[in-house]
Amino acid sequence: MNTYITTPIFYVNAQPHLGHAYTTIVADTYSRYKRLCGDNVRFQTGTDEHGEKIIQAAEDAGVSPKEYVDKISGLFREAWPVLTIEPDVFIRTTDADHIQTVQAILQKVYDQGDIYFDEYSGLYCKGCERFLTEKELVDDKCPDHLTLPKEIREQNYFFRMGNYQEWLIDHIKKNPDFITPERYRNEVLSFLKEPLEDLCISRPTSRVTWGIPFPFDDRFVTYVWFDALINYLTGIGYPDGEEFEKYWQVAEHVIAKDILKPHAIYWPTMLKAMGLEPYRKLHVHGYWKIGETKMSKSLGNVVRPVEMAERFGVDAVRYFLLRDMSFGLDSGYTPEAVVARQNADLANDLGNLFSRSLTMVKKFAGGKVPEPGDPQEIDNQLADAAQEMMAAYQREMNDFSFHKALQAIWALISKANKYIVSTEPWELAKDPANRQRLDTVFYHLLEALRLIALTVQPVMPHTAEKMFDALNLKNDGDLAELGQWGLLQPGLEVKRIKSLFPRLDLEELKKQADSQKPATHKKSQKKEETELISFDDFKKLDLRVGEIVAAEKVKKSDRLLKLTVKSPEERIIVAGIAEHFTPEDVIGRQVIIVANLKPVKLMGVVSHGMVLAARDGDNLMLTGVSGSVTPGSKIS
């Protein structure tokens, strides 16, 4: 069997965040799972590099569009291996073969009469890079970008999307799995109840230059969505070639709900016009949110996945993302939720099961897989539970219900932990007459561990490797074969395993969050990614010289000092500097402060601003100006 799985190609107007990482981890996990099932797998991701947003971002950064896209695309490409994401293809829409493919498709669809030239006026949203219909607006604004769209009248090329409306409705109805979960299929069908307008697929070069030139009219470049969607074909060598033959018929796309319309409506109709079969499946997930708000680059409330991996460990992040989100629904991110999962599910349930089982086998069975005797009822129950898990796991993984697949594994982990409590191997070990019973118990336990290692592997490759190593097994072969109960060979030597996951301290983490300091992880201090901001963003900061006129320790905190800072009015600032400075050290010093931060309450004290300091390894230095200035002087 063949599997072709793709993520969206991400815009390079911002660096990768947790939302991008989630989609890409989903695709990576699915591709690992399908490989485990013996499939030939092609996994593709990449970057979307044309369009107005990109020009704007490059201008803001003061570099050429090419320099800009090379840099940000590189950040995506480099982030994925850190998260153990291993795509087969990383495509960029500025690649020469992609440009050629888009132009060939435009020419073909134009030649057959599905593209025409017309004048159009409409409401254009720069953020969406498309014309919006009146119906889509909320309070006259784009609901995604909360901006007023601009009335634009211009001549453009249009794709006869409306011609394919009936065909599309019919295709969706006949293929219940075409768009999943069902809520999104229903959303698309309900949208298609209204007449489908033709799609404007060009942008005049007078307005947008950073795009793929139209092959039959050099006054226009290609609309970024018409360009971007075609990446799914370019990456497998369309229009000819072995890969295209092999993979197009099994194409599955993973996206979030923000880009449902282009994928569920533009793309299948484009494919139909090209004379191709539509993709096989569209898997649509919800949003990662911070509080009630979608995590998004435009809102700036993003979590960086690479930093998360450094803080919690890659496998813990992958597990958390797949376990906490029900595929299709929204989910909230908090560091506390990651810690809770890590401590309960990973360190406690899974980690303990492995370490105590292997320790007992070492201690009471000479560190070898024993020959089992006749099983008792309780042993058969564990074996049955393992087989039920295998069936549920495969069903849920095939269905993109990753959280349920993980729940099925954890149900077995919990059974195995209870099995230890019920069979009490340490008691059996006291009497040599129980030898065979003890061997049977260990065999069943180790066999359950093997199946757990096998099934967690697509989600947590590093952890699975450690487990396989401890069980002295090679991590290769196919699920249908390896997923059977009873394959473990007696006599095989097993190793003890150090704890698979450390327990994290939630209180410590909260303290760090309170004092607004990043996690004290060595690596995270090593290198910090710099997000480019515009001059306008910089201008928003009110930086001033402040003079510390009083200072005291904040009660019950080792880290916080309460400072009274003259700037020129007196204000209270709570600073996380108590590990480096006593109150006496800082009184009378002039420092640089951010004067227009929203007040926050830290350990019961309201802080009105922030003192800037430089961190150098473990040292902290306060910033200041050379010479004495009037408190409140602006830094510009």
| Range 292-351, binding ligand ME8 (CB under 6 A) | 294-296
Query: How much of the chain is in helix, strand and coil states, percent to nearest 5?
Result: 45, 20, 35
Instruction: For 221-281, give the secondary structure using H, E and C.
Output: EECHHHHHHCHHHHCCCCCCCHHHHHHHHHEEEEEEHHHHHHHHHHHHHHHHHHCCCCCCE
State the nearest-atom distance from the C-beta of 517 to ligand ME8, in Å: 25
Distance in angstroms (rounded) separating the CA atoms of residues 79 and 73: 10
Q: Is the dihedral of CA 140, 141, 142, 143 positive or negative?
A: negative
607 interacts with ligand ME8 by CB under 6 A? no
Amino acid symbol at 64: S
- Partners of 294 in the β-ladder: 289
Interaction between residue 259 and ligand ME8 (CB under 6 A) = yes
Q: Which of 287, 312, 400, 501 binds ligand ME8 (CB under 6 A)?
A: 287
The active-site residue out of 53, 128, 200, 253 is 128
Nearer to ligand ME8, 9 or 460 (CB): 9
CB of 354 to ligand ME8, least distance (A): 32
Instruction: Tell me if 288 contacts ligand ME8 by CB under 6 A.
Output: yes
CA atoms within 13 A on the CB side of 478: 7
| Closer CB to ligand ME8, 22 or 354, in the complex | 22
Dig out the tokens for 253 from the structure.
């796309």
Alpha helix segments (H runs only) across 83-210: 96-111, 165-174, 182-191
To the query of whether residue 50 is one of the catalytic residues in this protein, the response is no
634 Cβ contact partners less than 8 Å away, ≥ 6 residues apart? 542, 543, 544
Q: Does 5 bind ligand ME8 (CB under 6 A)?
A: no
CB of 288 to ligand ME8, least distance (A): 4
Residue from the set 125, 172, 236, 256 that interacts with ligand ME8 by CB under 6 A: 256
What's the per-residue H, E or C state across 333-366? CCHHHHHHHHHHHHHHHHHHHHHHHHHHHHHHHC
- Structural tokens at position 269: 């109709």
Segment lying near ligand ME8 (by CB under 6 A), choices 141-149, 255-263, 495-503, 523-531: 255-263
What is the nearest approach in angstroms of ligand ME8 to the Cβ of residue 7?
6
- Smaller CB separation from ligand ME8, 255 or 406: 255
The reply to whether 20 sits near ligand ME8 by the rule CB under 6 A is yes
Nearer to ligand ME8, 401 or 457 (CB): 401
Site for ligand ME8 in 499-538 (CB under 6 A): none
**Separation of alpha carbons 612 and 610, rounded Å:** 6
Size of interface with ligand ME8, in residues (CB under 6 A): 21
CB of 483 to ligand ME8, least distance (A): 31
> CB–CB of 6/51 below 8 Å?
no
Asked about 142 being catalytic, the answer comes back as: yes
According to CB under 6 A, which residues from 38 to 57 bind ligand ME8?
48
* Active-site pick, 71, 108, 141, 145: 145
Of the candidate spans 34-42, 176-184, 256-264, 586-594, the one that interacts with ligand ME8 by CB under 6 A turns out to be 256-264
Q: Which of 37, 53, 98, 142 is catalytic?
A: 142
In the complex, what is the shortest distance from the CB of residue 93 to ligand ME8, in angstroms, rounded to a whole number? 9
- Using CB under 6 A, which of 4, 22, 30, 223 touches ligand ME8? 22
Measured distance CA(223)–CA(93) in Å, rounded: 12
Q: Which two tokens stand for residue 72?
A: 């940000």
Region 211-240 residues binding ligand ME8, contact defined as CB under 6 A: 228-229, 231
- The position carrying tokens 């009822």 is 377
Tokens representing residue 502 in the block: 């450390």
Name the minimum Å distance from CB 181 to ligand ME8: 15
Report d(CA 621, CA 603) in Å as an integer: 23
Nearer to ligand ME8, 9 or 208 (CB): 9
Q: Which residues contribute to the site for ligand ME8 (CB under 6 A)?
A: 8-11, 19-20, 22-23, 48, 228-229, 231, 255-256, 258-259, 287-288, 294-296
Active-site positions read 17, 20, 125, 128, 142, 145, 294, 297
